[in-house]
Amino acid sequence: MERLVEAVSMDWTTNLKRLEEMADRFRVMSDPTRLRILAVLGEQELSVQDICDRTGFKQSNVSKHLRVLREIEAIAHQR
């Protein structure tokens, strides 16, 4: 809660930009498929195939969602 109060007290230009960025991140994170992927990744680092095996999602779908999560820097990509 303290961070929210801090964010609201910033000037409106900075505050609006930051709030828009936060809203975008929350939109991305609200997808049930992405939440499930994040949940399994929270346990340990996994390959795309391992994520598919644990979630039952198709590889193409997992790859698409991982790309979106990387774009908002919710996850890091390793080879």
57 with 77, same domain?
Answer: yes
Query: Residue 46 is part of a domain; what is its CATH number?
Result: 1.10.10
55 with 17, same domain?
Answer: no
39 with 26, same domain?
Answer: no
pLDDT value, residue 61: 97
Q: What is the pTM of this model?
A: 0.74
Amino acid letter, 24: D
How many domains, the chain? 2
44 with 24, same domain?
Answer: no
Q: What is the rounded CA–CA span in Å between residue 27 and residue 24?
A: 5
Which residue segment(s) compose the domain that 77 sits in? Answer: 32-79
- Give me the average pLDDT of each 10-residue run along the chain (79 residues): 56 78 89 96 93 97 96 85
Half-sphere exposure of 52 (CA within 13 A, CB side): 10
pLDDT value, residue 11: 66
